[in-house]
Amino acid sequence: MTQDPLVIFTPSGKRGRFPAGTPVLTAARQLGVDLDSVCGGRGICSKCQITPSYGDFSKHGVHVAEDALSEWNKVEQRYQDKRGLKPGRRLGCQATIQRDVVIDVPPESQVHRQVVRKAASARVIEMDPATRLYYIEVDEPDMHEPTGDLERIARALKAQWDIPEISTDFSTLGKLQPILRKGDWKITVALHKADNSAPKLIAAWPGLHEGGIYGLAIDLGSTTVAAHLTNLDTGEVIASSGIMNPQIRFGEDLMSRVSYSMMNPGGDKEMTRAVREAIDALALDIAKEAGIEPALILETVFVCNPVMHHLLLGIDPVELGQAPFALATSDSMTLTATELGLTAIPGAAQIYVLPCIAGHVGADAAAVALSEEPGKSDDLALIIDVGTNAEILLGDKSGVLACSSPTGPAFEGAQISSGQRAAPGAIEAIRIDPETKEPRFRVIGCDLWSNEDGFAKATAQTGITGICGSGIIEAVAEMRMAGLVDPSGLIGSAQATGTARSIPEGRTHSYVIHDATAEGGPLITVTQGDIRAIQLAKSALYAGARLLMDQREVDQVDRVVLAGAFGAHISPLHAMVLGMIPDVPLDKVTSAGNAAGTGARIALCNVAARREIERVVRQITKVETAIEPKFQEHFVNANAIPHATDPFPILNAQVTLPNVSFNTGGGDEGGRRRRRRG
Amino acid sequence: MTQDPLVIFTPSGKRGRFPAGTPVLTAARQLGVDLDSVCGGRGICSKCQITPSYGDFSKHGVHVAEDALSEWNKVEQRYQDKRGLKPGRRLGCQATIQRDVVIDVPPESQVHRQVVRKAASARVIEMDPATRLYYIEVDEPDMHEPTGDLERIARALKAQWDIPEISTDFSTLGKLQPILRKGDWKITVALHKADNSAPKLIAAWPGLHEGGIYGLAIDLGSTTVAAHLTNLDTGEVIASSGIMNPQIRFGEDLMSRVSYSMMNPGGDKEMTRAVREAIDALALDIAKEAGIEPALILETVFVCNPVMHHLLLGIDPVELGQAPFALATSDSMTLTATELGLTAIPGAAQIYVLPCIAGHVGADAAAVALSEEPGKSDDLALIIDVGTNAEILLGDKSGVLACSSPTGPAFEGAQISSGQRAAPGAIEAIRIDPETKEPRFRVIGCDLWSNEDGFAKATAQTGITGICGSGIIEAVAEMRMAGLVDPSGLIGSAQATGTARSIPEGRTHSYVIHDATAEGGPLITVTQGDIRAIQLAKSALYAGARLLMDQREVDQVDRVVLAGAFGAHISPLHAMVLGMIPDVPLDKVTSAGNAAGTGARIALCNVAARREIERVVRQITKVETAIEPKFQEHFVNANAIPHATDPFPILNAQVTLPNVSFNTGGGDEGGRRRRRRG
């Protein structure tokens, strides 16, 4: 008796015997091999491409003959003529098994294909999006058996895809009849399934839809709204874009927006309208940039701080402005674009908002936790998402703590005399010679240092306009290391510091970084007030971290992760000189880039990750800085800048400073515009 | 050893022993006795009122002593002082069991209380609404244990009401925080639960909400939109109101509206907007009439024909205008007021639209099936919902058939020379003396016949303006019985009929019912054209009924039910004389009043009834009149008016004609305005 042919799939190693004539796709499904298909085996979607391997496979004990699969058929030829297949590829739904065979499923044919993130901490995102496409052939209506078109679509999904039940987004229902007829009863539907309820039909196209479907991962910051447009099939980011949050006109920081809402009846509604309009504009902009129809954007994931969270959802944030800082809801939210009042994308588009951790620790911190996974860390990690508020996570496998710390906007260049936001012309890096006390610097938009040839020419267009957040941190740290500033933060006079760059200003002194007044340009200095502002901000940040360390009963951490697009631009050395972060070996300070944005992307691409972060968030221990007396104590103690006496051991470590050039400004995802998070 | 006291509840008969000191409400819950409570036993909602019975209950073998329950307590006294309790009543949550006791649960304290319908076929509606109120006391926010207000509401519902999980309507979420604080963390929430998914929080009030919650049962006809405003707790209809369907300006009948949509791009959207605006206006109107806030209307149930169904839902009805008459969806729909674009009621208000049976047999027919339950009938019932289209159901326990028949608007007074809609001044009943051929009639707004004293004075204000649908049916039947019209429908000349009321008109004759031309009033006649229009309409109706009887292979039915508000005004005698309906004994013809509206009310008050009708609709055999050759044949054969030769045996039966006075015009629910369905 002859045995049925043996089929071995790689890379999974799954194997089984099937009667000769069984299509490869059928065998793959029965074995649970991860082989994609949208058209359900009709030879039109080409998602099920496989590569048969021929020859001897001694480790499997198999010899694969040239005729192990059926011959190239008409359907494959038609596809080859029309689109072309890579050499050696076959369509898994057409090729049938004839003899023992080893079949490789290439990465792009896997349903749960993995997307490699570009970040240093390169983990992969496994594609498991909530929304998938299904091609079906629907029965025509029959007067003798009257059923609705929708009910026949449901019947086809059951028969052809084994989906027992669906629900339908109401705004999609009215569009189905013409689509069915245009496609001659062949139709591709997008089903969204994010939980245990029945999949929801949220979009449809006549025939086989080959235009892809997309999702937006949006990091909604106080200052900037940044979006990554992601292909929901491949996980590829096809465009990134950011715009200013128009709520800035109601208040620069979060608390001033909460105040605006308190003082102006209906003020929260104004701010909600403004941010939703901005999101609509951003969606149109990014779709245009990517050359896709906004109608193909079927999902959007939001991460944001609690105030932005409430204002996005149309909830008055007033309770977040006063103790006990009660969130209206802390759980994740799933809703539709219609419910959120968005009009640029389909009304049926599904919105997922990550859960908040506490009244001051938002969905953005949850996204950082999803991206950086402190709860899976073997060593104790301190993760700081630096912005107007810093979100701080401390933890390892044994548990995670979280708090937020009111650093204020100084780290973003606000409240700094020559401060400005990170934009071309802003000083972003500074070095001060400890001997001569002379500075050299770099500005955004130019890779040269100011003492290098061609700098003047290269910066002629942008000018040198001010200092951004990373620049001011470096400036203060360098001033301390050069002995221009004492441990208490006081700038010495020209006599004390031995440099003419120390100039009197009021009752104190300033340090001149760049003087273009002769040409009618700006005088860029670091004033005593600037130092104080940075001291306050860094003390708050440090105090928050210390508070978590107290709770955890540790005096040091194993590693520090600086997150946030801004975090990506902070020099770890200078941060540590300044005392922003607890001391750790310099090579234990890493940048996670825009970890919140990455968390949003993970939640967009992988529905299980949503359940994961919802679970994790519930387990995080929340620490409220506003009511911890120890916070105040740490804050005061952290005011000094102690490091100057011996910075050299650190300097001698010869670490490479983070790349702060303009082009990588968007964080780890290659964002096309420089942006900052609030 | 002393046994615990025995508690016997009436009328349920449920009994059990409980330790002395157990509150009556607790005992009732443990025994599964149907005793209501909104406040969860806190002595503030008064829903759990009970009446202890004292003395000997020999059949139970119990003697109830005066001290069987605990003494009247402060909470009861406070309630008594504030609101008053009926004599003998106690609060079930306050009175505790001390000795053996018999406790009566009065109907108004039962959760599933029954509402007696006023209709002749008086069945009861068991109250089991989808939306119920729950009073809870919510934990205040705690900075050390940060959770959202919503999550603490969910926790309270779980702890205090054993509701394991809720979802929340998005538009309600933003309202919860101020409500919680206004009620000092005591809150009443409305939860909607219509299926297996988690109950949905759709409204909330500070403290104990005592203003009730309401639902609208809306019968959306081609011509009229009628609504019953119903208390969702008691089932009581507190107001009924109707308005004209503003879509009439796009076409009188359904097919002309479908044509309008075909010929005018965006025409369907115009009609959708018009009808939704009308529903908003109606909701405001009826709430005002009842003196309630529209914000308390939390549910709305719609019944309507397929074209109105699609236009309400914003679906282009174009497919319903051509074979194969494919519905976009035939299943029931549950959605929100926001999704439906309604603004007069809360956005979170839940909308339920009954399922359609087929492309020509709508949710209105489903509602009639729900109200009249042909599938539970022992005898074979023919149910006709008379309107511009007649929906016809035929069935008994062994099965139900359905079709719709295009009767046209003649039965509603349209296309009739002196026709008008049912309004004061319209002739609604006519008798013609077979000897003298003289008519007498009654008009809407006056109970007197035209030959009675005082008629002229009583009708002076309204005048006598025309003939409405029921009037023209009686006129034609009476003319046939009086020998003025022959079996083919031809009106005889004065010579042939022996009355001067037969007057020449064109090439045929008319019969004069009322001549006020001398006073400058109208000449009201029945023309040959009128007879032909009625013959067409009644033939269509009869042919539809016959078609179903053919399918069922029967020559007669056991009983006929005339539904529709218009059906309530048709005289069964005259309908049978005319050949509108198959012959049955006259006492087997009943009026179901506005059965579609009643079906809507049942679905509004009882969530299980929704599942019931969804199940029933799937089992109904649909018959499409448009494609059945036999329909045409029956139609032609039904054209004659055969009954005149021997009407007297029927007349001698001395049946009481249906009450057609103005005040009961709205059907079985005591509707306050006369209305007609299209």
Q: pLDDT by residue (tens digit) across B549-580?
A: 999 999 999 999 998 767 778 888 899 889 89
Radius of gyration for the alpha carbons in chain B, expressed in angstroms and rounded: 29
Paired tokens of B627? 């494609």
Task: Estimate to the nearest angstrom the gap between the alpha carbon of A406 and the chain centroid.
Answer: 23
As a whole number of angstroms, the distance between CA B607 and CA B332 comes to 13
Q: Which of A304, A307, A336 is nearest to A320 (CA)?
A: A307
Beta-carbon separation of B141 and A173 below 8 A: no
* B144 and B226 part of one domain: no
What integer pLDDT is reported at residue A115 of this predicted model? 63
Paired tokens of A589? 């300070």
The answer to whether the beta carbons of residues B106 and B49 sit under 8 Å apart is: yes
Q: What is the CATH number of the domain that holds B34?
A: 3.10.20.30
Last residue of a domain, one of A65, A81, A109: A109
Q: Which of A80, A79, A78, A73 is nearest to A98 (CA)?
A: A73
Query: Tokens 């065979």 sit at which residue?
Result: A101
* Neighbouring C-beta atoms of residue A267, cutoff 10 Å: 20
Strands, E assignment, A566-652: 589-593, 621-622
A675 inside domain: no
Interface membership of A322 toward B (CB under 8 Å): no
CA neighbours closer than 13 Å in the CB half-sphere of residue A405 = 30
Interface membership of A150 toward B (CB under 8 Å): yes
Beta-carbon separation of B329 and A151 below 8 A: yes
Q: Which of A141, A133, A152 is nearest to A199 (CA)?
A: A133
Nearest-by-CA chain A residue for B355:
A148
Query: Helix, strand or coil for residue A655?
Result: coil
As a whole number of angstroms, the distance between CA B69 and CA A82 comes to 87
The DSSP 8-state label assigned to residue A530 in this structure reads H
Interface membership of A390 toward B (CB under 8 Å): no
The answer to whether the beta carbons of residues A526 and A475 sit under 8 Å apart is: yes
B672 inside domain: no
Beta-carbon separation of A173 and B315 below 8 A: yes
Beta-carbon separation of A174 and B148 below 8 A: no
* Neighbouring C-beta atoms of residue A401, cutoff 10 Å: 20
The answer to whether the beta carbons of residues A363 and A304 sit under 8 Å apart is: yes
What integer pLDDT is reported at residue B117 of this predicted model? 46
What integer pLDDT is reported at residue A424 of this predicted model? 85
Query: Helix, strand or coil for residue B615?
Result: helix
As a whole number of angstroms, the distance between CA A215 and CA A225 comes to 16
The band of B539, judged by pLDDT with boundaries at 50, 70 and 90, is: very high
Which residues in chain A (178-207) have CB-CB distances under 8 A to chain B?
Answer: 178, 197
A172 inside domain: yes
The DSSP 8-state label assigned to residue B198 in this structure reads P
* B479 and B493 part of one domain: yes
Last residue of a domain, one of B186, B206, B226: B206
* B430 and B567 part of one domain: no
Last residue of a domain, one of A153, A183, A206: A206
As a whole number of angstroms, the distance between CA A319 and CA A263 comes to 13
As beta bridge partners, residue A162 has none
Beta-carbon separation of A327 and B148 below 8 A: yes
What integer pLDDT is reported at residue A39 of this predicted model? 87
Closest approach of chain B CAs to the CA of A326, in angstroms?
6
Q: What is the mean pLDDT of residues B312-333?
A: 94
Nearest-by-CA chain A residue for B176:
A328
CA torsion sign for B520, B522, B525, B531 is positive
To probe the interface with A, which of B168, B173, B360 has the most A CB atoms within 10 Å?
Answer: B173
Domain residues for B277? Answer: 215-353
Task: Estimate to the nearest angstrom the gap between the alpha carbon of B639 and the chain centroid.
Answer: 33
Query: Helix, strand or coil for residue B23?
Result: strand
Phi, psi of A141 (to 5 degrees): -65, 150
A367 inside domain: no
* B544 and B574 part of one domain: yes
Nearest-by-CA chain A residue for B315:
A174
Paired tokens of B552? 């069922």
Closest approach of chain B CAs to the CA of A333, in angstroms?
9
Q: From the DSSP assignment, how many helices (H) and strands (E) are in chain B?
A: 18, 31
Paired tokens of A395? 């933890």
Beta-carbon separation of B357 and A324 below 8 A: no
Q: Provide the H-helix boundaries in A167-249.
A: 170-173, 176-182
Query: Tokens 């077979």 sit at which residue?
Result: B434
First to last CA, chain A: 72
As a whole number of angstroms, the distance between CA B541 and CA B634 comes to 10
Q: What is the mean pLDDT of residues B341-369?
A: 94
CB pairs under 8 A between A and B: 142
The answer to whether the beta carbons of residues A436 and A475 sit under 8 Å apart is: no
User: Measured between CB atoms, which of B324, B328, B356 is closest to A174?
Assistant: B328
Nearest-by-CA chain A residue for B139:
A326
The answer to whether the beta carbons of residues B389 and B404 sit under 8 Å apart is: yes
Q: What is the CATH number of the domain that holds A271?
A: 3.30.420.480
Nearest-by-CA chain B residue for A619:
B145
Beta-carbon separation of B328 and A176 below 8 A: yes
As a whole number of angstroms, the distance between CA A336 and CA B336 comes to 13
* B545 and B652 part of one domain: yes
Contacts of A143 in chain B (CB under 8 A): 323-325, 359, 624, 626-627
Closest approach of chain A CAs to the CA of B391, in angstroms?
16
Query: Helix, strand or coil for residue A80?
Result: helix
Beta-carbon separation of A173 and B197 below 8 A: no
* B294 and B398 part of one domain: no
User: Measured between CB atoms, which of B141, B319, B331 is closest to A151?
Assistant: B331
Paired tokens of B454? 């005082």
The band of B116, judged by pLDDT with boundaries at 50, 70 and 90, is: low
Closest approach of chain A CAs to the CA of B393, in angstroms?
16
B121-140 burial code (b ≥16 CB/10 A, e <16): beeebbbebbbbbbbbebee
B677 inside domain: no
Dump pLDDT digits (tens) for A319-378. 998 889 999 999 999 999 999 999 999 999 999 999 999 988 999 999 999 999 999 999
A436-469 burial code (b ≥16 CB/10 A, e <16): ebebbbbbbbbebebeeeebeeebeeeebbbbbb
Query: Tokens 């939210």 sit at which residue?
Result: A333
In the predicted model, residues of chain A with pLDDT beneath 70 are: 1, 114-123, 565, 643-678
* A251 and A272 part of one domain: yes
C-alpha dihedral, B439 to B445 to B448 to B452, nearest 10°:
-70
Residue B366 has pLDDT above 80, yes or no: yes
The answer to whether the beta carbons of residues B214 and B238 sit under 8 Å apart is: yes
The answer to whether the beta carbons of residues B678 and B388 sit under 8 Å apart is: yes
The DSSP 8-state label assigned to residue A39 in this structure reads S
Paired tokens of A554? 């540790």
Dump pLDDT digits (tens) for B57-85. 777 778 888 889 999 999 999 888 888 88
As a whole number of angstroms, the distance between CA A110 and CA A536 comes to 51
Interface membership of A170 toward B (CB under 8 Å): yes
Integer CA distances (angstroms), A104 to A10, A17, A61, A108, in order: 5, 16, 17, 11
Beta-carbon separation of B143 and A624 below 8 A: yes
Q: Which of A229, A47, A201, A215 is nearest to A129 (CA)?
A: A215
As beta bridge partners, residue B400 has B395
- Pairing of β A15-17 and β A6-10: antiparallel
As a whole number of angstroms, the distance between CA B336 and CA A152 comes to 24
What integer pLDDT is reported at residue A593 of this predicted model? 81
Paired tokens of B264? 């005018």
Q: Which of A391, A402, A416, A429 is nearest to A219 (CA)?
A: A391
* Neighbouring C-beta atoms of residue B487, cutoff 10 Å: 14
Interface membership of A624 toward B (CB under 8 Å): yes
Closest approach of chain A CAs to the CA of B185, in angstroms?
13
Q: Position A534: which residue type? A: I
* A223 and A345 part of one domain: yes
Closest approach of chain A CAs to the CA of B621, in angstroms?
9
Q: What is the mean pLDDT of residues B225-245?
A: 91
Q: From the DSSP assignment, how many helices (H) and strands (E) are in chain A?
A: 18, 31
* A77 and A133 part of one domain: no
A200 inside domain: yes
* B550 and B424 part of one domain: no
Q: DSSP string spanning B498-555?
A: T-TTEEEETTEEEEEEEE-GGGT--EEEE-HHHHHHHHHHHHHHHHHHHHHHHHHT-S
User: Measured between CB atoms, which of A168, A176, A331 is closest to B148?
Assistant: A331
To probe the interface with A, which of B152, B201, B329 has the most A CB atoms within 10 Å?
Answer: B329
Paired tokens of A278? 């901005």
Closest approach of chain B CAs to the CA of A30, in angstroms?
32
Integer CA distances (angstroms), B35 to A149, A341, B72, in order: 45, 43, 20
User: Measured between CB atoms, which of A178, A315, A624 is closest to B146?
Assistant: A624
A322 inside domain: yes
Q: What is the mean pLDDT of chain B?
A: 88
Domains contained in chain B, number: 5
As a whole number of angstroms, the distance between CA A616 and CA B460 comes to 80
* A529 and A611 part of one domain: no
Contacts of B326 in chain A (CB under 8 A): 141, 146, 148-149, 177
* B529 and B544 part of one domain: no
